[in-house]
Amino acid sequence: MSSFPGAPRTLPGAIVAVDPVSPLSRIAIFQYNPDEVTRTLRPRAPTGGGNASDHDRVFGAPTQTIAMKVELDATDRLETGNPLSTTTGVAAGLAVLEMLLYPSAARVIANTALMAAGAIEVIPPAAPLAVLAWGPGLVVPVKLESITVTEQAFDAVTLMPIRAAVDLSLTVLTYDDLGPTDPAHYLFLAHQVIKESLATVATVGAAVSFALEI
């Protein structure tokens, strides 16, 4: 007979980077969901500067930046003797987030070998497609602009961090930033369709409520 856990199950947020070369190191599931998510939207400016008649035109999806703070804490897992937390604290969880900004070591080694073999130019590898999954209402392709790590406590023997806070700064990539052959192009388009549906439901609901009050 199962007992009531005492708290509802929470859907964790995550950043998933699609990288066929190193798939397991590119899935960052948040240990604790941030208490706040700050989204800043700005109208997209016309290319080339535009002119006076462009003030009433829409030049695509707005640019959007997202800021959030993700917290990691190994205290509870240390008390239960979790082997990963015992040996690394939260360093492994931090590494998952930081690896979102790194090229894979395999690609770096391959490029170094090409340069040593006399290749004139080695094209930098493409970054993996990063997707912010913050519940059904916010699943969008993103570019990580910065990751700021504040390590707050350390193991006395290994100096591995036990607690840390990570400030994430993200830019949402829209269909204006992505080519029509890029799967992320359609991922953002699906996100916009969901937004439009929510806006329609809200508008209809407000109209019905207003009519009933008359």
pLDDT single digits (tens) 163-208: 999 999 999 999 999 999 998 999 999 999 999 999 999 999 888 8
CB neighbours of 164 closer than 8 A, spacing ≥ 6? 71, 72, 90, 93, 94, 149, 150, 151, 152
DSSP conformation class of 129: E
Place of tokens 């700005």: 42
Contact predicate 125/102, CB 8 Å: no
Burial class (CB in 10 A: 0-12, 13-18, 19+), 154: middle
CB neighbours of 212 closer than 8 A, spacing ≥ 6? none
pLDDT single digits (tens) 121-154: 667 777 788 999 999 899 999 999 999 999 999 9
* CA–CA distance, 89 with 193 (Å, rounded to integer): 41
Rounded percentage of the chain residues whose pLDDT exceeds 90? 53
pLDDT single digits (tens) 50-90: 565 666 777 789 999 999 999 999 998 888 888 888 899 99
pLDDT single digits (tens) 88-100: 999 999 999 998 8
